[in-house]
Amino acid sequence: MKKRNVAKWIAISVAITAAIAFAAGVAFELRAIKKLTVDIDNDEEPQADDLVVEAVEA
C-alpha cells in the first residue's frame, strides 16, 4: 500500500471513532439529564374538572 492510502485509512478510522464517541457521549448526557428531570413529586395535581367545580361552587 502506498503511504497516501495508509494515511487516508487512518484519517477515516479516526473520524469514525470520533463520531461514535461523540454519539455515545451525547446519549450518556441525555440519559443523565433524563434522570435529573424525573418528577419526584408524588402529589397528584388537581385536574381541570375539579378546579371548575370548585370555582362554580364558590
- Helical (H) or strand (E) element with 48: helix 48-57
From first to last of its 58 residues, the chain has per-residue pLDDT tens of: 799 999 999 999 999 999 999 999 999 999 998 888 766 666 666 666 766 666 666 5
pLDDT at 45: 65
Sign of CA dihedral 7, 11, 12, 14: positive
pTM across the whole model: 0.56
Here the cell at position 18 is 470520533
